[in-house]
Structure 1
Amino acid sequence: MDSKKVKRPKSLKEALKGKLTESEMKLLGRAFDYLGEIAIIEIPEELHHKEKLIGEALLKVHKALRAVFRKSGKVSGEHRTRSLKRIAGSGSAETTYKENACAYHFDAEAVFFTGRLSTERQRVSDLIGKKEKVLDMFAGVGPYTILIAKEHPETKLTAIDTNEAAINYLQKNAELNKVSSQIITLIGDASEVASELKQKFDRIIMNLPAGCSGHIPVAVKALKKKGIIHYYFFSSTTEEAKEEVERVFSDYNSKILKIKKVKPYSPRTFTFVADVELSR
Protein backbone atom coordinates (compact mmCIF):
# COMPACT_ATOMS: atom_id res chain seq x y z
CA MET A 1 0.00 0.00 0.00
CA ASP A 2 1.23 3.48 -0.92
CA SER A 3 1.39 5.48 2.31
CA LYS A 4 2.27 8.77 0.61
CA LYS A 5 -0.16 11.61 1.19
CA VAL A 6 -1.87 13.16 -1.82
CA LYS A 7 -0.36 16.59 -2.34
CA ARG A 8 -2.92 19.40 -2.23
CA PRO A 9 -2.70 21.73 -5.27
CA LYS A 10 -1.54 25.24 -4.39
CA SER A 11 -3.75 27.04 -6.89
CA LEU A 12 -6.81 26.53 -9.05
CA LYS A 13 -4.58 26.68 -12.11
CA GLU A 14 -2.53 23.79 -10.74
CA ALA A 15 -5.66 21.83 -9.80
CA LEU A 16 -7.07 22.23 -13.32
CA LYS A 17 -3.85 21.52 -15.17
CA GLY A 18 -4.57 19.10 -18.00
CA LYS A 19 -8.33 19.47 -17.43
CA LEU A 20 -8.80 22.94 -18.87
CA THR A 21 -6.92 24.41 -21.80
CA GLU A 22 -4.97 27.66 -21.44
CA SER A 23 -7.69 29.53 -23.32
CA GLU A 24 -10.34 28.06 -21.01
CA MET A 25 -8.33 29.12 -17.95
CA LYS A 26 -8.16 32.68 -19.28
CA LEU A 27 -11.89 32.56 -19.93
CA LEU A 28 -12.53 31.42 -16.35
CA GLY A 29 -10.62 34.35 -14.88
CA ARG A 30 -10.24 34.87 -11.14
CA ALA A 31 -13.67 36.12 -10.06
CA PHE A 32 -13.98 34.06 -6.87
CA ASP A 33 -15.47 35.15 -3.54
CA TYR A 34 -14.48 33.13 -0.47
CA LEU A 35 -17.07 33.60 2.25
CA GLY A 36 -16.23 31.39 5.19
CA GLU A 37 -16.88 27.78 4.27
CA ILE A 38 -18.33 28.52 0.83
CA ALA A 39 -16.96 29.95 -2.40
CA ILE A 40 -18.99 31.80 -5.02
CA ILE A 41 -17.58 31.88 -8.51
CA GLU A 42 -18.53 33.31 -11.86
CA ILE A 43 -18.25 30.82 -14.72
CA PRO A 44 -18.82 31.96 -18.31
CA GLU A 45 -21.54 30.13 -20.21
CA GLU A 46 -18.94 28.49 -22.45
CA LEU A 47 -17.60 26.61 -19.43
CA HIS A 48 -20.88 25.60 -17.77
CA HIS A 49 -20.37 22.03 -18.98
CA LYS A 50 -17.20 21.92 -16.87
CA GLU A 51 -18.60 23.64 -13.78
CA LYS A 52 -18.51 20.51 -11.61
CA LEU A 53 -14.87 19.95 -12.51
CA ILE A 54 -14.04 23.56 -11.62
CA GLY A 55 -15.97 23.42 -8.34
CA GLU A 56 -14.30 20.19 -7.21
CA ALA A 57 -10.90 21.68 -8.08
CA LEU A 58 -11.61 24.64 -5.78
CA LEU A 59 -12.49 22.25 -2.96
CA LYS A 60 -9.14 20.51 -3.44
CA VAL A 61 -7.23 23.81 -3.29
CA HIS A 62 -9.01 25.23 -0.24
CA LYS A 63 -9.32 22.79 2.63
CA ALA A 64 -11.72 25.00 4.61
CA LEU A 65 -14.37 25.05 1.90
CA ARG A 66 -17.54 22.99 2.30
CA ALA A 67 -19.25 23.94 -0.95
CA VAL A 68 -18.78 25.89 -4.18
CA PHE A 69 -21.59 27.87 -5.81
CA ARG A 70 -21.84 29.34 -9.29
CA LYS A 71 -23.54 32.69 -9.84
CA SER A 72 -26.61 31.81 -11.87
CA GLY A 73 -28.10 35.28 -12.08
CA LYS A 74 -27.32 38.95 -11.59
CA VAL A 75 -27.82 40.87 -8.37
CA SER A 76 -31.37 42.15 -8.76
CA GLY A 77 -34.60 43.06 -7.05
CA GLU A 78 -35.40 45.22 -4.05
CA HIS A 79 -33.23 43.05 -1.79
CA ARG A 80 -30.20 42.93 -4.14
CA THR A 81 -29.97 39.14 -4.05
CA ARG A 82 -28.83 36.66 -6.68
CA SER A 83 -29.53 33.03 -7.54
CA LEU A 84 -26.77 30.52 -6.85
CA LYS A 85 -26.22 26.98 -8.06
CA ARG A 86 -24.17 24.56 -5.98
CA ILE A 87 -21.66 22.88 -8.29
CA ALA A 88 -19.50 21.03 -5.74
CA GLY A 89 -19.56 20.06 -2.08
CA SER A 90 -22.63 19.90 0.12
CA GLY A 91 -25.09 21.99 2.07
CA SER A 92 -26.73 25.38 1.63
CA ALA A 93 -25.28 28.82 0.98
CA GLU A 94 -25.50 29.66 4.68
CA THR A 95 -22.09 30.45 6.09
CA THR A 96 -20.10 32.33 8.72
CA TYR A 97 -17.55 34.78 7.37
CA LYS A 98 -14.88 36.56 9.40
CA GLU A 99 -13.61 40.02 8.55
CA ASN A 100 -11.81 42.75 10.50
CA ALA A 101 -12.10 40.73 13.75
CA CYS A 102 -15.89 40.43 13.30
CA ALA A 103 -17.98 37.38 12.39
CA TYR A 104 -21.01 37.50 10.07
CA HIS A 105 -23.48 34.66 9.66
CA PHE A 106 -25.80 34.79 6.63
CA ASP A 107 -27.30 32.94 3.69
CA ALA A 108 -25.57 34.25 0.55
CA GLU A 109 -28.67 33.51 -1.51
CA ALA A 110 -31.12 35.30 0.81
CA VAL A 111 -29.11 38.50 1.41
CA PHE A 112 -26.55 40.67 -0.35
CA PHE A 113 -22.99 40.45 0.95
CA THR A 114 -19.59 41.10 -0.55
CA GLY A 115 -16.22 40.58 1.08
CA ARG A 116 -14.63 43.03 -1.36
CA LEU A 117 -15.44 46.03 0.81
CA SER A 118 -13.42 44.91 3.82
CA THR A 119 -10.82 47.68 3.49
CA GLU A 120 -13.49 50.31 2.84
CA ARG A 121 -15.52 49.29 5.86
CA GLN A 122 -12.41 49.55 8.03
CA ARG A 123 -11.64 52.99 6.55
CA VAL A 124 -15.07 54.29 7.53
CA SER A 125 -14.81 52.79 11.02
CA ASP A 126 -11.47 54.51 11.50
CA LEU A 127 -13.17 57.88 10.89
CA ILE A 128 -15.74 57.50 13.65
CA GLY A 129 -15.49 60.05 16.45
CA LYS A 130 -16.22 59.57 20.14
CA LYS A 131 -19.89 58.96 21.02
CA GLU A 132 -21.11 59.47 17.46
CA LYS A 133 -24.63 58.56 16.44
CA VAL A 134 -24.51 56.69 13.13
CA LEU A 135 -27.27 55.74 10.68
CA ASP A 136 -26.65 52.86 8.26
CA MET A 137 -29.48 53.27 5.72
CA PHE A 138 -28.86 50.09 3.72
CA ALA A 139 -27.31 47.92 6.41
CA GLY A 140 -27.68 44.39 5.05
CA VAL A 141 -26.38 41.85 7.58
CA GLY A 142 -24.41 44.59 9.33
CA PRO A 143 -20.79 44.67 8.08
CA TYR A 144 -20.49 48.45 8.62
CA THR A 145 -22.75 48.66 11.66
CA ILE A 146 -21.21 45.80 13.61
CA LEU A 147 -17.60 46.73 12.89
CA ILE A 148 -18.21 50.31 14.02
CA ALA A 149 -20.04 49.15 17.15
CA LYS A 150 -17.27 46.73 18.05
CA GLU A 151 -14.45 49.24 17.54
CA HIS A 152 -16.31 52.16 19.14
CA PRO A 153 -18.18 50.98 22.27
CA GLU A 154 -19.60 54.45 23.00
CA THR A 155 -21.15 54.80 19.54
CA LYS A 156 -24.89 54.26 19.03
CA LEU A 157 -26.08 52.98 15.64
CA THR A 158 -29.38 52.67 13.81
CA ALA A 159 -29.51 50.13 10.98
CA ILE A 160 -32.21 50.00 8.30
CA ASP A 161 -32.82 47.46 5.56
CA THR A 162 -35.82 46.53 3.46
CA ASN A 163 -34.86 42.84 3.54
CA GLU A 164 -36.29 41.21 6.67
CA ALA A 165 -33.87 38.27 6.32
CA ALA A 166 -30.92 40.68 6.34
CA ILE A 167 -32.14 42.42 9.49
CA ASN A 168 -32.71 39.07 11.19
CA TYR A 169 -29.12 38.09 10.41
CA LEU A 170 -27.90 41.52 11.54
CA GLN A 171 -29.56 40.99 14.92
CA LYS A 172 -27.97 37.55 15.23
CA ASN A 173 -24.60 38.96 14.18
CA ALA A 174 -24.90 41.73 16.76
CA GLU A 175 -25.34 39.05 19.41
CA LEU A 176 -22.51 36.99 17.94
CA ASN A 177 -20.17 39.99 18.17
CA LYS A 178 -21.58 41.16 21.53
CA VAL A 179 -22.70 44.62 20.36
CA SER A 180 -26.51 44.28 20.51
CA SER A 181 -26.87 47.02 23.15
CA GLN A 182 -25.45 49.63 20.75
CA ILE A 183 -27.66 48.87 17.75
CA ILE A 184 -31.28 49.61 16.85
CA THR A 185 -32.55 47.67 13.80
CA LEU A 186 -35.48 48.71 11.60
CA ILE A 187 -37.11 47.01 8.61
CA GLY A 188 -38.49 48.98 5.68
CA ASP A 189 -37.79 51.48 2.92
CA ALA A 190 -34.81 53.59 3.98
CA SER A 191 -36.42 56.95 3.22
CA GLU A 192 -39.76 56.09 4.79
CA VAL A 193 -38.16 54.75 7.96
CA ALA A 194 -35.52 57.48 8.27
CA SER A 195 -38.08 60.26 7.78
CA GLU A 196 -39.95 59.03 10.87
CA LEU A 197 -36.90 59.01 13.11
CA LYS A 198 -36.80 61.75 15.73
CA GLN A 199 -33.09 61.27 16.37
CA LYS A 200 -30.48 63.19 14.35
CA PHE A 201 -27.16 61.65 13.32
CA ASP A 202 -23.52 62.68 13.12
CA ARG A 203 -22.83 60.31 10.23
CA ILE A 204 -24.89 58.41 7.65
CA ILE A 205 -23.69 55.48 5.56
CA MET A 206 -25.44 55.12 2.19
CA ASN A 207 -24.06 51.97 0.62
CA LEU A 208 -26.54 51.35 -2.20
CA PRO A 209 -24.59 52.25 -5.36
CA ALA A 210 -27.43 51.35 -7.72
CA GLY A 211 -29.89 53.88 -6.38
CA CYS A 212 -29.23 55.74 -3.16
CA SER A 213 -29.20 59.23 -4.76
CA GLY A 214 -32.99 59.35 -4.45
CA HIS A 215 -32.66 58.98 -0.68
CA ILE A 216 -30.34 62.00 -0.29
CA PRO A 217 -33.05 64.52 0.76
CA VAL A 218 -34.18 62.36 3.67
CA ALA A 219 -30.58 61.58 4.64
CA VAL A 220 -29.71 65.28 4.78
CA LYS A 221 -32.72 65.97 7.03
CA ALA A 222 -31.65 63.11 9.30
CA LEU A 223 -28.25 64.72 9.90
CA LYS A 224 -27.43 67.04 12.76
CA LYS A 225 -26.70 70.67 11.88
CA LYS A 226 -23.31 69.44 10.78
CA GLY A 227 -22.66 65.87 9.71
CA ILE A 228 -21.11 63.52 7.19
CA ILE A 229 -22.63 61.28 4.54
CA HIS A 230 -20.71 58.40 2.97
CA TYR A 231 -22.34 58.22 -0.45
CA TYR A 232 -21.66 55.15 -2.65
CA PHE A 233 -22.35 55.21 -6.38
CA PHE A 234 -21.25 53.89 -9.77
CA SER A 235 -19.08 55.85 -12.18
CA SER A 236 -16.51 55.28 -14.91
CA THR A 237 -13.83 57.82 -14.00
CA THR A 238 -12.83 59.97 -11.03
CA GLU A 239 -13.66 63.10 -13.04
CA GLU A 240 -17.18 61.85 -13.79
CA ALA A 241 -17.53 60.76 -10.17
CA LYS A 242 -16.75 64.27 -8.94
CA GLU A 243 -19.33 65.74 -11.32
CA GLU A 244 -21.90 63.25 -10.06
CA VAL A 245 -21.31 64.15 -6.41
CA GLU A 246 -21.43 67.88 -7.14
CA ARG A 247 -24.73 67.42 -8.98
CA VAL A 248 -26.34 65.24 -6.30
CA PHE A 249 -25.43 67.62 -3.46
CA SER A 250 -25.82 70.89 -5.39
CA ASP A 251 -28.91 71.94 -3.43
CA TYR A 252 -27.14 71.71 -0.08
CA ASN A 253 -24.38 73.49 1.82
CA SER A 254 -21.85 70.73 1.27
CA LYS A 255 -18.12 70.11 1.17
CA ILE A 256 -16.56 67.09 -0.54
CA LEU A 257 -13.97 65.70 1.85
CA LYS A 258 -12.92 62.74 -0.28
CA ILE A 259 -13.81 60.84 -3.44
CA LYS A 260 -12.37 57.37 -3.69
CA LYS A 261 -12.59 54.46 -6.14
CA VAL A 262 -13.62 51.47 -4.02
CA LYS A 263 -13.75 48.45 -6.34
CA PRO A 264 -14.49 47.37 -9.92
CA TYR A 265 -18.14 46.71 -10.74
CA SER A 266 -17.89 45.88 -14.43
CA PRO A 267 -15.14 46.25 -17.10
CA ARG A 268 -15.78 50.01 -17.44
CA THR A 269 -17.61 50.87 -14.23
CA PHE A 270 -16.40 51.21 -10.65
CA THR A 271 -17.97 51.65 -7.24
CA PHE A 272 -16.95 55.02 -5.80
CA VAL A 273 -17.50 56.58 -2.41
CA ALA A 274 -17.74 60.26 -1.58
CA ASP A 275 -17.34 61.51 1.98
CA VAL A 276 -19.48 64.66 2.05
CA GLU A 277 -19.76 67.09 4.95
CA LEU A 278 -23.05 68.98 5.16
CA SER A 279 -24.07 71.89 7.35
CA ARG A 280 -27.11 74.13 7.71
Structure 2
Amino acid sequence: MVEHQNADDGGSIVLAATPIGNLGDASPRLQELLASADVIAAEDTRRLHKLLHALNISTSARVLSYHEHNEAARTTGLLEEVRAGKTLLMVTDAGMPAVSDPGFRLVEAAVAQSLTVTAVPGPSAVTTALALSGLPTDRFCFEGFLPRKSGERATRLKELAHERRTMVFFEAPHRLEAMLAALQARFGPDRKAAVARELTKLHEQVVRASVAELLDWAGSGQVRGEIAVVVAGADDAPPARAVDHVEAVNELISGGARMKDAVGTVAEEAVVSKRELYGAVLAARQD
Protein backbone atom coordinates (compact mmCIF):
# COMPACT_ATOMS: atom_id res chain seq x y z
CA MET A 1 0.00 0.00 0.00
CA VAL A 2 1.29 3.46 -0.90
CA GLU A 3 1.59 5.76 2.13
CA HIS A 4 0.61 9.43 1.78
CA GLN A 5 1.00 12.33 4.14
CA ASN A 6 -0.66 15.72 3.91
CA ALA A 7 0.94 18.76 5.50
CA ASP A 8 -2.54 20.24 6.03
CA ASP A 9 -3.82 17.35 8.15
CA GLY A 10 -3.24 18.92 11.59
CA GLY A 11 0.04 18.58 13.46
CA SER A 12 3.44 17.44 12.31
CA ILE A 13 6.72 15.94 13.43
CA VAL A 14 9.82 17.93 12.52
CA LEU A 15 13.19 16.19 12.68
CA ALA A 16 15.71 18.96 13.23
CA ALA A 17 19.45 18.70 12.75
CA THR A 18 21.42 20.44 15.51
CA PRO A 19 25.06 21.59 15.41
CA ILE A 20 27.67 18.84 15.73
CA GLY A 21 30.11 21.30 17.24
CA ASN A 22 30.04 24.87 15.97
CA LEU A 23 26.95 26.74 17.19
CA GLY A 24 27.18 28.96 14.13
CA ASP A 25 25.80 26.03 12.15
CA ALA A 26 22.39 26.36 13.82
CA SER A 27 20.13 27.39 10.94
CA PRO A 28 17.59 30.22 11.22
CA ARG A 29 14.83 27.69 10.62
CA LEU A 30 16.05 25.52 13.51
CA GLN A 31 16.11 28.55 15.80
CA GLU A 32 12.62 29.58 14.73
CA LEU A 33 11.22 26.11 15.45
CA LEU A 34 12.97 25.86 18.82
CA ALA A 35 11.11 29.02 19.80
CA SER A 36 7.73 28.17 18.28
CA ALA A 37 7.24 24.39 18.58
CA ASP A 38 4.46 23.11 20.84
CA VAL A 39 6.45 20.11 22.04
CA ILE A 40 10.18 19.38 21.88
CA ALA A 41 11.37 15.79 22.24
CA ALA A 42 15.07 15.85 23.08
CA GLU A 43 17.60 13.06 23.46
CA ASP A 44 19.05 14.93 26.45
CA THR A 45 16.98 17.78 27.88
CA ARG A 46 20.02 19.25 29.64
CA ARG A 47 21.86 19.59 26.34
CA LEU A 48 18.78 21.10 24.76
CA HIS A 49 18.58 23.77 27.46
CA LYS A 50 22.29 24.53 26.98
CA LEU A 51 21.67 24.95 23.26
CA LEU A 52 18.71 27.23 23.90
CA HIS A 53 20.78 29.33 26.29
CA ALA A 54 23.72 29.54 23.88
CA LEU A 55 21.43 30.66 21.06
CA ASN A 56 19.57 33.06 23.38
CA ILE A 57 16.23 31.38 22.60
CA SER A 58 13.23 31.32 24.89
CA THR A 59 10.66 28.60 24.27
CA SER A 60 7.21 27.90 25.66
CA ALA A 61 7.28 24.34 24.33
CA ARG A 62 6.68 21.36 26.58
CA VAL A 63 10.07 19.66 26.72
CA LEU A 64 10.29 15.87 27.05
CA SER A 65 13.19 13.46 27.01
CA TYR A 66 13.19 10.92 24.20
CA HIS A 67 16.07 8.46 24.08
CA GLU A 68 16.84 4.78 23.56
CA HIS A 69 15.68 3.85 27.07
CA ASN A 70 12.22 5.44 26.93
CA GLU A 71 11.32 5.84 23.25
CA ALA A 72 9.11 2.73 23.24
CA ALA A 73 7.04 4.12 26.12
CA ARG A 74 7.01 7.74 24.89
CA THR A 75 6.15 7.24 21.21
CA THR A 76 2.41 6.68 21.58
CA GLY A 77 1.94 9.81 23.68
CA LEU A 78 3.94 11.96 21.27
CA LEU A 79 1.87 10.76 18.32
CA GLU A 80 -1.28 11.71 20.20
CA GLU A 81 0.10 15.25 20.49
CA VAL A 82 0.60 15.35 16.72
CA ARG A 83 -2.89 14.02 16.02
CA ALA A 84 -4.20 16.81 18.27
CA GLY A 85 -2.63 19.36 15.92
CA LYS A 86 0.63 20.04 17.76
CA THR A 87 4.01 20.68 16.17
CA LEU A 88 6.49 18.20 17.64
CA LEU A 89 10.16 19.07 17.22
CA MET A 90 12.56 16.14 17.57
CA VAL A 91 16.22 16.91 18.35
CA THR A 92 19.18 14.82 19.43
CA ASP A 93 22.47 15.78 21.04
CA ALA A 94 24.03 16.54 17.65
CA GLY A 95 23.23 16.01 13.99
CA MET A 96 20.09 14.55 12.42
CA PRO A 97 17.63 12.53 14.53
CA ALA A 98 17.01 8.92 13.43
CA VAL A 99 20.52 8.61 11.91
CA SER A 100 22.44 6.57 14.49
CA ASP A 101 20.39 8.52 17.05
CA PRO A 102 16.87 8.28 18.54
CA GLY A 103 14.03 9.10 16.18
CA PHE A 104 13.57 6.12 13.88
CA ARG A 105 10.93 4.48 16.08
CA LEU A 106 8.95 7.74 16.13
CA VAL A 107 9.15 8.17 12.35
CA GLU A 108 8.24 4.54 11.71
CA ALA A 109 5.14 4.80 13.89
CA ALA A 110 4.13 8.17 12.41
CA VAL A 111 4.42 6.88 8.86
CA ALA A 112 2.28 3.88 9.74
CA GLN A 113 -0.43 6.30 10.90
CA SER A 114 -0.03 8.63 7.89
CA LEU A 115 1.04 11.54 10.10
CA THR A 116 3.11 14.35 8.64
CA VAL A 117 6.87 14.03 9.10
CA THR A 118 9.29 16.61 7.75
CA ALA A 119 12.84 17.70 8.49
CA VAL A 120 15.07 20.68 9.01
CA PRO A 121 18.32 19.69 7.26
CA GLY A 122 21.60 20.67 8.77
CA PRO A 123 24.90 19.44 10.19
CA SER A 124 25.83 15.79 9.66
CA ALA A 125 28.97 14.11 10.91
CA VAL A 126 28.51 11.41 8.26
CA THR A 127 28.65 13.64 5.19
CA THR A 128 31.12 16.09 6.75
CA ALA A 129 33.64 13.32 7.48
CA LEU A 130 33.07 11.83 4.03
CA ALA A 131 33.67 15.15 2.28
CA LEU A 132 36.87 15.82 4.23
CA SER A 133 38.28 12.29 3.94
CA GLY A 134 39.80 12.66 0.49
CA LEU A 135 38.25 9.31 -0.45
CA PRO A 136 35.68 8.73 -3.23
CA THR A 137 32.31 10.32 -2.43
CA ASP A 138 30.26 9.27 -5.46
CA ARG A 139 29.06 6.09 -3.75
CA PHE A 140 29.18 5.48 0.00
CA CYS A 141 27.45 3.62 2.81
CA PHE A 142 27.01 4.48 6.48
CA GLU A 143 27.64 1.61 8.90
CA GLY A 144 27.23 3.42 12.21
CA PHE A 145 29.04 1.86 15.18
CA LEU A 146 30.63 -1.55 14.76
CA PRO A 147 29.69 -4.16 17.41
CA ARG A 148 31.70 -3.88 20.60
CA LYS A 149 32.36 -7.61 20.96
CA SER A 150 35.36 -8.69 18.89
CA GLY A 151 33.65 -11.75 17.39
CA GLU A 152 30.57 -9.82 16.28
CA ARG A 153 32.79 -7.00 14.97
CA ALA A 154 34.83 -9.47 12.92
CA THR A 155 31.65 -10.96 11.46
CA ARG A 156 30.37 -7.54 10.41
CA LEU A 157 33.69 -6.65 8.78
CA LYS A 158 33.73 -10.00 6.99
CA GLU A 159 30.40 -9.02 5.42
CA LEU A 160 31.99 -5.75 4.27
CA ALA A 161 35.23 -7.26 2.96
CA HIS A 162 34.19 -6.82 -0.68
CA GLU A 163 32.17 -3.62 -0.26
CA ARG A 164 33.30 -1.30 -3.06
CA ARG A 165 31.65 1.85 -1.76
CA THR A 166 33.42 4.18 0.65
CA MET A 167 32.33 3.28 4.19
CA VAL A 168 31.65 5.67 7.06
CA PHE A 169 31.68 4.49 10.68
CA PHE A 170 31.28 6.11 14.08
CA GLU A 171 33.50 5.04 16.97
CA ALA A 172 34.19 5.96 20.57
CA PRO A 173 37.75 7.20 21.23
CA HIS A 174 38.56 4.45 23.75
CA ARG A 175 37.61 1.78 21.17
CA LEU A 176 39.31 3.37 18.15
CA GLU A 177 42.53 1.35 18.40
CA ALA A 178 40.64 -1.96 18.61
CA MET A 179 38.48 -0.95 15.66
CA LEU A 180 41.47 -0.05 13.49
CA ALA A 181 43.18 -3.32 14.43
CA ALA A 182 40.05 -5.18 13.31
CA LEU A 183 39.98 -3.20 10.06
CA GLN A 184 43.62 -4.09 9.40
CA ALA A 185 42.98 -7.77 10.10
CA ARG A 186 40.07 -7.93 7.65
CA PHE A 187 40.82 -5.27 5.03
CA GLY A 188 44.63 -5.39 5.10
CA PRO A 189 47.18 -2.81 6.30
CA ASP A 190 47.27 -0.81 3.07
CA ARG A 191 43.56 0.10 2.79
CA LYS A 192 43.21 3.89 2.70
CA ALA A 193 41.18 5.52 5.46
CA ALA A 194 40.69 8.72 7.42
CA VAL A 195 39.88 9.46 11.04
CA ALA A 196 37.92 12.67 11.56
CA ARG A 197 37.57 13.98 15.09
CA GLU A 198 35.90 16.98 16.70
CA LEU A 199 34.36 18.07 13.39
CA THR A 200 33.50 21.80 13.17
CA LYS A 201 34.99 22.34 16.64
CA LEU A 202 38.08 24.33 17.64
CA HIS A 203 40.36 21.28 17.61
CA GLU A 204 39.00 19.65 14.47
CA GLN A 205 41.43 17.11 13.02
CA VAL A 206 41.36 14.82 10.00
CA VAL A 207 44.13 12.22 9.72
CA ARG A 208 44.38 10.54 6.30
CA ALA A 209 46.60 7.47 5.90
CA SER A 210 46.61 3.71 5.49
CA VAL A 211 44.82 1.62 8.11
CA ALA A 212 48.19 0.42 9.47
CA GLU A 213 49.48 3.99 9.81
CA LEU A 214 46.29 5.09 11.52
CA LEU A 215 46.59 2.16 13.92
CA ASP A 216 50.09 3.30 14.90
CA TRP A 217 48.81 6.85 15.36
CA ALA A 218 45.86 5.76 17.50
CA GLY A 219 48.14 3.60 19.64
CA SER A 220 49.32 6.70 21.48
CA GLY A 221 46.09 6.61 23.46
CA GLN A 222 45.72 10.38 23.16
CA VAL A 223 42.84 10.42 20.66
CA ARG A 224 39.84 12.21 22.15
CA GLY A 225 36.47 13.60 21.09
CA GLU A 226 33.71 12.60 18.69
CA ILE A 227 35.10 10.35 15.95
CA ALA A 228 34.09 9.28 12.46
CA VAL A 229 36.16 6.79 10.49
CA VAL A 230 36.00 6.76 6.69
CA VAL A 231 37.37 3.72 4.87
CA ALA A 232 37.99 3.25 1.15
CA GLY A 233 36.00 0.57 -0.58
CA ALA A 234 37.54 -2.66 -1.87
CA ASP A 235 39.37 -2.71 -5.19
CA ASP A 236 37.50 -3.81 -8.29
CA ALA A 237 39.09 -7.25 -8.14
CA PRO A 238 36.46 -10.03 -8.40
CA PRO A 239 35.44 -11.83 -5.21
CA ALA A 240 37.63 -14.73 -4.17
CA ARG A 241 36.75 -18.18 -5.56
CA ALA A 242 36.91 -21.28 -3.39
CA VAL A 243 38.89 -23.20 -5.99
CA ASP A 244 41.70 -20.64 -5.75
CA HIS A 245 42.39 -21.64 -2.15
CA VAL A 246 42.59 -25.42 -2.41
CA GLU A 247 46.39 -25.34 -2.27
CA ALA A 248 46.34 -23.36 0.99
CA VAL A 249 44.08 -26.00 2.54
CA ASN A 250 46.36 -28.81 1.40
CA GLU A 251 49.38 -27.05 2.89
CA LEU A 252 47.69 -26.94 6.30
CA ILE A 253 46.70 -30.60 5.99
CA SER A 254 50.30 -31.47 5.14
CA GLY A 255 51.31 -29.69 8.33
CA GLY A 256 49.07 -31.96 10.40
CA ALA A 257 45.74 -30.09 10.43
CA ARG A 258 42.49 -31.97 9.99
CA MET A 259 40.73 -31.26 6.71
CA LYS A 260 37.70 -29.72 8.43
CA ASP A 261 39.88 -27.38 10.49
CA ALA A 262 42.05 -26.46 7.52
CA VAL A 263 39.01 -25.62 5.39
CA GLY A 264 37.55 -23.52 8.19
CA THR A 265 40.77 -21.55 8.70
CA VAL A 266 41.33 -20.82 5.01
CA ALA A 267 37.66 -20.01 4.34
CA GLU A 268 37.66 -17.49 7.17
CA GLU A 269 40.82 -15.76 5.97
CA ALA A 270 39.87 -15.78 2.28
CA VAL A 271 36.19 -14.89 2.88
CA VAL A 272 34.85 -17.81 0.85
CA SER A 273 32.15 -20.38 1.57
CA LYS A 274 33.31 -23.29 3.74
CA ARG A 275 30.99 -25.64 1.88
CA GLU A 276 32.29 -24.54 -1.53
CA LEU A 277 35.91 -24.78 -0.41
CA TYR A 278 35.37 -28.25 1.07
CA GLY A 279 33.80 -29.37 -2.19
CA ALA A 280 36.66 -27.85 -4.21
CA VAL A 281 39.22 -29.74 -2.13
CA LEU A 282 37.37 -33.03 -2.64
CA ALA A 283 37.02 -32.36 -6.37
CA ALA A 284 40.73 -31.64 -6.69
CA ARG A 285 41.58 -34.95 -5.01
CA GLN A 286 39.33 -36.85 -7.42
CA ASP A 287 41.04 -35.19 -10.35
TM range (shorter): 0.3 to 0.5
TM-score in terms of structure 2 length: 0.32
| Larger helix percent | 2
| Larger strand percent | 1
TM-score in terms of structure 1 length: 0.32
